[in-house]
Amino acid sequence: MSVPFIAAALSFPLVLFPLFGYDINPAFLLAPLIGWAFIKDFGQANFLYLLSFLFGIVSILAANHISPDGVLERHFLSLVLIMFSPSFLFLGKYVAKSNDISRVLNWLSIFCSIFLIVISFRILYLGEAVRIYLGPLGLAAMNAKFFNWPVFATFGVLSLAHLVCLQAMIICGALIGGKAGLLSSVLMWVALFCASFLITGSESRSAQILLMWILTSIVFYGVRNSGARYKSVVAFVVILMAAGLAYSNGIEESRMLSSIEAIWENPTTQGKPSEGVRLEKKVDQFTTGRIELAVEGIKEVIASPYVGNGFSSYGRYTSTEVSFSLSQNTSTHIYYLTLLWKGGLVFFVPFLIMILINLRSAIVGTMATEGSAERFFAWAAVLMAFGPMALAWDILIVPSAGAVAFFLFGLLGGLKKSGVVSLTVGGASELPCSVHCDT
């Protein structure tokens, strides 16, 4: 398979055309390759993927029998979209059979670098902010265009900001690994600066926390590998400098700091709600309504644990009107809870087993192969995506960041001692440390 083509399709999340009201980006062009990889390397994880898909259909039909809502086709489309990003797991495993992980990350880094530099330079040249607000309601979005080409999933900031976090981690692996040529290295250093600028300028609190995850990964790898310390220090400084530029480019006040201060400030009204209720409301405001979404999602899971809501949204089985915030959301914003809430246990259990099987393969492959910076930062990116990212937003559903995360996960799951062996950089073979992140 053409690694450059795959890397380019994953690295340029541009809007190609709409289909059934949904924007199509280049990652969708990889569907034929995913199908080929799925068939050629069929195993337990593949079987469980198909089983999840089948039980997702069962969930939809069962929920429609219990409470028909007249939009059955929309629920099938929701299932297809939810299952699309996980299919990149099998593409990553197949690519790993014949390609060194260093080569794959190098190509990903080159194309990610081009994307990040073009987006950032446009913002700086026009003197605009990274985070913008659209429409009469002032809804947030990322100010991202590839020249004049619209970028996929800019609305709401989080989807694109999290993708940039993954791209920054990939670039760190290629840079610190030191296998890129001079021109490619220069491109990547500039891109790492641009990535940090975009993450900080997005004012996404979860993305800024993830930037700390990236910095921690750099420090951890540099401390454990003497040969990589100089580049690790440079990468650390570059990220901090870019964050400083983002603040000087128009961020007047940190949303993170102001939100934390708002939680602990004394109320100015004379209302008499209990301290616990006031704190709960403030935390919900800090998390932009996520507490309400999660609590209601859990209640609906308890009400229908086996088949979920048939890939519908809030209030499927109730005759009472849901709140405005619930009516505007089709997910719980917590990836794993969303899967359970939408498809129930019949869908969620085989899906989770599929993830755990690939995790086992990735751990076994990591223990059997030599360490490298590329492999370390691939692990750091995967743990970041399936950990704090997935708890802050349903990012693994989005066919941009989600596709990249599952592809990297499959790449690690395909590591074999007798096949692809990564080159050693400083002799490291440890997995990156985990970082506690509040969502």
pTM of the full predicted structure?
0.88
**For position 199, what pLDDT does the model report?**
95
Q: Which residues make Cβ contacts (< 8 Å) with residue 425, sequence separation at least 6?
A: 176, 177, 178, 225, 227, 228, 371, 372, 373
Q: Give the pLDDT score at 250.
A: 61
Q: Tell me the mean pLDDT in the region 94-103.
A: 93
* DSSP SS3 for 249: coil
Confidence of residue 118 (pLDDT cuts 50, 70, 90): very high
DSSP per residue over 294-316, as a string?
Answer: HHHHHHHHHHSTTTTTSS--TTT
Whether the per-residue pLDDT at 135 is higher than 50: the answer is: yes
- Listing DSSP states for 345-386 in one string gives HHHHHHHHHHHHHHHHHHHHHHHHS---HHHHHHHHHHHHII
Within a domain: 306: no
Domain count, the chain: 1
Task: Please report where in the chains the tokens 């870019």 appear, as a residue.
Answer: 242
pLDDT at 421: 39
Is residue 289 included in any domain, yes or no? Answer: no
- Other C-beta atoms closer than 10 Å to the C-beta of 432 total 23
Q: Per mean pLDDT, which range of 220-229, 274-283, 312-321, 364-373 is the poorest?
A: 274-283
Q: How far apart, in whole angstroms, are the C-alpha atoms of residue 60 and residue 75?
A: 7
Q: Is residue 308 part of a domain?
A: no
Domain enclosing residue 98, as ranges: 3-248+334-413
What integer pLDDT is reported at residue 418 of this predicted model? Answer: 41
* Res 420: pLDDT: 41
- Return phi, psi of residue 134, to 5°: -115, 150
**Alpha-carbon separation of residue 2 from 7, 94, 386, 401 (angstroms):** 9, 12, 27, 20
Confidence of residue 417 (pLDDT cuts 50, 70, 90): low
Mean pLDDT of 274-279: 52
DSSP, collapsed to helix, strand or coil, labels residue 181 as coil
Q: What is the mean pLDDT of residues 289-293?
A: 81
| pLDDT above 80 for 271 | no
Specify the pLDDT at position 434. Answer: 38
CA distance 49 to 367: 26
For residue 140, the surrounding DSSP H or E stretch is: strand 139-142
As a whole number of angstroms, the distance between CA 285 and CA 259 comes to: 8
pLDDT for the residue 253: 54
Q: Which helix (H) or strand (E) holds 80?
A: helix 72-84
Q: Does some domain include residue 297?
A: no
Task: Give backbone dihedrals phi and psi of 132, rounded to 5 degrees, phi first.
Answer: -125, 165
- Domain annotation covers residue 282: no
- Residue 420 falls within a domain, yes or no? no
Give tens-digit pLDDT for 325-339: 787 788 899 999 999
